[in-house]
Structure 1
Amino acid sequence: MSLVPPILDDRHFDDLTAEALKRIRLACPDWTDFNPADPGITLVELFAWFTELMLFRMNKVPDKLHGELLSLVGIMPEPAKAARAMIEFTPLDNCPSSITGGTSSISIDVGADRPLKFQTTRDLAMVRRPMVAIIRKLPGEAEEDLTKLNEMPDRGFDPFGTIGASNSELILRIKAASPDMQAADVFPDVLTLHVSQMKRGRTGDFSMPEGNSLALRPQTPPLSWSARIDGDVWEPLEVIDDATKGFECDGFIRIAGPRRAVPIANAAPSGAPGQAKRALTYVFELRCLVGGAGFAFASAPRFLHVALNAVDAIALTTETEDLLGTSTGLEGQVFSLRNRPVDPDSVKLATGPANNEHLWSKVDDFFDSLSTDTHFTVDGATGEVRFGDNSHGQVPGAGVRVVAKSYQAGGGIGGNVGAKQIKIGSQGASGTNPFPAIDGSNAEQTERLRQRAASRLRSRDRAVTCADFEELALRKGQMGRARAIAQLHPDFPELSGKMPGVITVFVVGKSRLGGDLPPWPSDAEIGNVKEILDRRRMVGAELFVRAAMIVPVKVTMLARASAGYAGDEVRGAIRRSLNDWLNSSDRGFATQLYAADLWSCAAQTTIGGVRVIDQVLSLRADVNGRILEMAPPVLRGPRTFTFVSTESVTPEKNTSNFIAIADQAILWGRPDHIIQLEGATPS
């Protein structure tokens, strides 16, 4: 129940008018005409109306007071965020060995008060020759050129084929000026790639694997990078950092530059009849090879774009030597930066003459500041720099010069410019953004702050109980399901319940391909949940995050369909009915699966609200290798039927009419149920 705000004055127009008339009778007995037509009464009603408006405003909590109250519980308005974009540089003649971090773009006119600029976030070591081709080579197949698809970021392509089989190769060809060119003249010590991913759609070849392979979360196969030396001899390259986590998400890949690679002849196609052959060219080749057993079923990556010489850029400009003014020596002085909004952490502040400046330290507040501490605070939205009061934080002396040595200014939704709108020119290289800039947002408005504050105060933001861990994994980690089990160590399940302080959270991803694939969480998603929960767990708690076990269910059944319905339509409706029930997130974990539940679910299948199954004749369910079977109803007496449930009996299988699912497992209905029908219209 929400708190009712206090009413400081509950008088309204009628109350104010009546009170004024009472005062008139006491103060001015000769005034006896109180009709609304009297000019004096008109003035009384006018001032009553003004007074009612003032009382209405007084009874509202002012925005500034609301903000101050929320700040006491640590809820502050979100500052404006600067847009970010990936910049791909193309080397030109006399390409430099690196692009310095902080290199600015050409101004972009977005109709704002000042032109928009982006700047690179870090130094970029350049591959000094352009990438001229991207090649896919699958085992036993000829090379396929993907270069044009890579230049159309809205199309996407499969770098290792739709299956991602072992020994599939993705080859990047870098142009060489001559056959004698040295690798050290082209490649830096560490080169940078950026990979943009695309969600995989359902392909024509979508036959589900048999057996128990779907129960286990697919592991990313080993991926090795190398550079061709000669023939089929390759120089292994060390992966310094892979933010894509094996091509699971967008990100940068930093690889040690080759040193022994040599240019090879690029097989140039012949010209058309009557035309001269194209000149032979030479290229360096970088290769990514899929190892192990390859990618698991339907887990091969699909790329939008591969960028060489890539770096992040942010919609901020670096301001320097911003003279804020001269200190008065008074407590709580406030100065304003020239440009705003600003990144508070980027502000470098100094006081004193230019030849003897003293640097000050930025803090979030003065709570822990001593009287001798040279601290200041910054409001990112307004650009206000505030000093202390000589009790908490020192005050600059009177007449002292105050200057912002440097800071980064910018931010807002205007920075979300379209693709190829950012142009960064450098001597010997040019860069642009192949994709639109993202993540730019304006400062949070008061109404939005109120909504967010109410949501945050209602929700849990600390992980103490199992319910806290589950709720945070779902809400913050964007998981489909989560189950937290206390005193369970995933490496020592036999000690479950005997390990105080240990908690394991099992997570399930959201639906994939509309439920056609098991909801395996990726390594990136698991890592994200782990990071979120780690920041909120109690000190001393040992946390583990693991993927839940997926228990696939495949139903084989024979049913009699109602007349007048197409067979394929009925089969599709039965599959949807079974899987909507099996895959519902409301089922949670550790459920029990009864054969009768599957029977009932199939029997109640509807199309357009009308039941289409007259009778289920037989049903068999393969639950990850364990079998449930149900025979037709048997007449036991007048109006008395009994369902007969049987199960294949082996030492390791249940012999009851249900199968119990483990605490850390969920059911998942396969999309390839086998449905045989009697009575349906042939499709």
Structure 2
Amino acid sequence: MSLPLPNLDDRRWVDLVEEGRALIPVYAPQWTDHNAHDPGITLIELFAWIAEMDLYQINRISDAYKLKFLALAGIRPNPPQPTRTVLSLTPKSDAQEIPIGSQFQGRNALGQIVRFRTVAPLMLVKSQLRALGIQTSQGFCDLSARLERGESLPLFDDNPKPGNILYLGFDRALPPNLPVSLFFALSDPSTDEKERQRLLRELQQQEAECHPANTLLECPPQTDSKPIPEYPLHHHSVQTVWEFFSETGFWQPLDAAVGEIEDWTRSFTLSDRVVLKLPAPMREITTGVICQPYYYLRCRFLTGAYDATPMLDRLILNGVKVEQAVAIESEIGIGTGEPLQQYTLPHAPILPDSLHLFTEELGQRVEWWLRPDFDASRRSDRHFLLNATTGAIAFGDGEKGRVPPKNARIFASYNATLAEGGNLAKDTVREIAPADLGELGDRIETITNPLPAMGGTAAETLTQITARALKLLTKPQRAVTLADYETLALETPGVRLARVAARANLDPSFPCIRATGVITVIVLPYLPSDRPMPSPGLRRSLSQPQADSRHSRYCRRTRLCRSERASESAVLSW
């Protein structure tokens, strides 16, 4: 059975002629001769013939043209994405180092081996977390039993306030001068890796806006897709300090300036790790209602205010993030000097951001650059295209993109992934990959993934990218209507808001008069629970210059005000 052809418009020549003839009395009532010999009817038939040819061509638009039209609108298909999860490792002896790129494996439902690699180095310690407690103004609360049962726990209490303290007790002292990793998996979906990437993109956009205007200076070629650098982020309001009970008998703070603490959780608003390097030995102590002495770390809530209560789902000592990607280096072919050369990378799908391509020319390695197309490529540009799903590599024709010279060896290094095939349930990654078994087998005793391995997706299809484009059409990019103001406020990276309301011609400083040209945005966070009120840091995040640029051209003045709670039902008043 043949494939059905697209049919965007089923009108034929006869239909178009009859449609044009039927419109004559509407637009030219004095035109009464509608027979075929009339010159006007001849022109209608001619234009109908041209329109029919245009409709035929429109029905023959290929998928490549559709993707190009979407690219003109700034929408390109997303490449394959790797699965990510967290591994919990226990060592056979204390202070065992696990280098970055170490490989572990599990099996999916089909019995296929799925390999993961660490994305950060890890120092394994023999200690185990035995106690967790919270100190508030109401007293000390022991949450150790709830932690052992795997329940979700509030960090710093259900209504966290400055002065609250989180205590973590270990059965053994953490070794000094060695980095120890504590992974905090939070239960809120808005604390995942996507939220971190949104925050990093926002910071990257701010940095780009601070750059000077373009000059005529030549810049080295760069890929269109630049990886976002990773570094610890800071909360807009909350400040915390980590301390340990040292052998001197006092709580000694850890100084981030000298590398004693790296908080990747953004003060417990992102699921990530806290890396501690104690400068001195620890000492046992009893704390609160916990009678058993342990070696304690504590985190004190210094200043600021949370938008919502941070809820802990899992706390993993010796936790390390891994992604389902295997590093590959190979020679993929030898150049022929001909135009439009094509080669195939083994073990596709490919992660495009990890791909590096080189040719060996006159004894030197020459790097080539990945591009989405050859539209802007010149004869001398070392550009190539990639089909991330199949691993196909395509070079230019000599006019649009340079061709690899004859007898030039072509090398590639990249990360291969199984995409959606790497998604696994929890407690399924339990083995060291054979390539690292000899190095890590004597260091690691147990391996498991307490969290499911998720996030792996195949490359976006044309149907999916079209649906995403239609969704983007309805998403506000600039604040024009009041609903746009509310949507942009709710979607601000790094904040948690319960409700937002925008009101036109209202100035909170002059509530009794009509303030023409003023738009007031009223925000309501989740905390404090008795009287929710946005902190100064939250208001700064919502009124940053890049946010103002979205709507400054549409109104004369915008005000951001805190909500006033009229009753226990948390109704906004204005």
TM-score when normalising by structure 1: 0.56
Matching residue of 1:594:
none
Matching residue of 2:129:
132
In the alignment, the residues of structure 1 paired with residue 548 and residue 114 of structure 2 have an alpha-carbon distance, to the nearest angstrom, of: 35
In the alignment, the residues of structure 1 paired with residue 536 and residue 341 of structure 2 have an alpha-carbon distance, to the nearest angstrom, of: 50
**Which one has a bigger Cα radius of gyration?**
1
Q: 1:262 aligned to 2:290?
A: no
Where in structure 1 are there 5+ consecutive unaligned residues?
13-54, 178-182, 201-217, 270-279, 491-496, 556-578, 584-665, 669-683
Residue from 500, 519, 533 that aligns with 1:481: 500
Deviation at 1:136, TM superposition (A): 1.2
Deviation at 1:509, TM superposition (A): 5.6
In the alignment, the residues of structure 1 paired with residue 141 and residue 352 of structure 2 have an alpha-carbon distance, to the nearest angstrom, of: 50
Q: Percent identity?
A: 23
Q: Could you say if the C-alpha distance between residues 75 and 531 of structure 1 is closer, same or farther in structure 2, counting changes exceeding 3 Å?
A: farther
Letter of the 1:434 counterpart: P
Letter of the 1:448 counterpart: Q
Q: Could you say if the C-alpha distance between residues 476 and 161 of structure 1 is closer, same or farther in structure 2, counting changes exceeding 3 Å?
A: closer
1:2-17 alignment, distance < 5 Å: 5-7=8-10
Structure 1 counterpart SS, 2:353: helix
Structure 2 counterpart SS, 1:435: coil
Matching residue of 1:229:
246
Q: 1:311 aligned to 2:338?
A: no
Q: Could you say if the C-alpha distance between residues 266 and 519 of structure 1 is closer, same or farther in structure 2, counting changes exceeding 3 Å?
A: closer
Asked whether the equivalents of residues 249 and 524 of structure 1 are also in contact (C-alpha less than 8 Å), the reply is no
In the alignment, the residues of structure 1 paired with residue 326 and residue 180 of structure 2 have an alpha-carbon distance, to the nearest angstrom, of: 26
Deviation at 1:149, TM superposition (A): 2.9
Q: Could you say if the C-alpha distance between residues 507 and 353 of structure 1 is closer, same or farther in structure 2, counting changes exceeding 3 Å?
A: farther
In the alignment, the residues of structure 1 paired with residue 560 and residue 423 of structure 2 have an alpha-carbon distance, to the nearest angstrom, of: 35
Letter of the 2:428 counterpart: Q
1:199-214 alignment, distance < 5 Å: none
Matching residue of 1:195:
184
Deviation at 1:58, TM superposition (A): 8.7
Deviation string, structure 1 residues 32-55 (Cα, Å, up to 9, x no partner): xxxxxxxxxxxxxxxxxxxxxxx9
1:534-573 alignment, distance < 5 Å: 537=550, 548-554=561-567
Asked whether the equivalents of residues 136 and 160 of structure 1 are also in contact (C-alpha less than 8 Å), the reply is no
Deviation at 1:337, TM superposition (A): 1.1
Deviation at 1:139, TM superposition (A): 5.7
In the alignment, the residues of structure 2 paired with residue 540 and residue 162 of structure 1 have an alpha-carbon distance, to the nearest angstrom, of: 41
Letter of the 1:416 counterpart: N
Larger RCO of the pair (alpha carbons < 8 Å, separation 6+) = 2
Q: 1:346 aligned to 2:354?
A: yes
Matching residue of 1:30:
none
Matching residue of 1:289:
300
Asked whether the equivalents of residues 88 and 432 of structure 1 are also in contact (C-alpha less than 8 Å), the reply is yes
Deviation string, structure 1 residues 303-358 (Cα, Å, up to 9, x no partner): 2222223222112111221x322222222222221122211111111223897543
The aligned length equals 462
Deviation at 1:187, TM superposition (A): 4.6
In the alignment, the residues of structure 1 paired with residue 443 and residue 370 of structure 2 have an alpha-carbon distance, to the nearest angstrom, of: 39
Q: 1:436 aligned to 2:418?
A: no
Where in structure 2 are there 5+ consecutive unaligned residues?
1-6, 16-54, 190-234, 433-439, 509-514
In the alignment, the residues of structure 2 paired with residue 317 and residue 524 of structure 1 have an alpha-carbon distance, to the nearest angstrom, of: 41
Matching residue of 1:446:
462
1:403-442 alignment, distance < 5 Å: 403-404=411-412, 406-423=413-430, 425=432, 426=440, 427-429=442-444, 430-442=446-458
Per mean C-alpha deviation after superposition, the further-off stretch among 310-319 and 63-72 is 63-72
Letter of the 1:409 counterpart: A
Deviation at 1:287, TM superposition (A): 1.4
Q: Could you say if the C-alpha distance between residues 540 and 135 of structure 1 is closer, same or farther in structure 2, counting changes exceeding 3 Å?
A: same
Deviation at 1:186, TM superposition (A): 4.6
Matching residue of 1:250:
271
Matching residue of 1:215:
none
Q: Could you say if the C-alpha distance between residues 314 and 400 of structure 1 is closer, same or farther in structure 2, counting changes exceeding 3 Å?
A: same
Asked whether the equivalents of residues 172 and 287 of structure 1 are also in contact (C-alpha less than 8 Å), the reply is yes
Across the aligned residues of Structure 1 and Structure 2, the Cα RMSD in angstroms comes to: 5.1
In the alignment, the residues of structure 2 paired with residue 509 and residue 441 of structure 1 have an alpha-carbon distance, to the nearest angstrom, of: 35
Matching residue of 2:33:
none
Matching residue of 1:567:
none
In the alignment, the residues of structure 2 paired with residue 545 and residue 117 of structure 1 have an alpha-carbon distance, to the nearest angstrom, of: 52
Structure 2 counterpart SS, 1:116: strand
Deviation at 1:395, TM superposition (A): 0.8
Structure 1 counterpart SS, 2:297: strand
Q: Could you say if the C-alpha distance between residues 221 and 195 of structure 1 is closer, same or farther in structure 2, counting changes exceeding 3 Å?
A: same
Matching residue of 2:147:
150
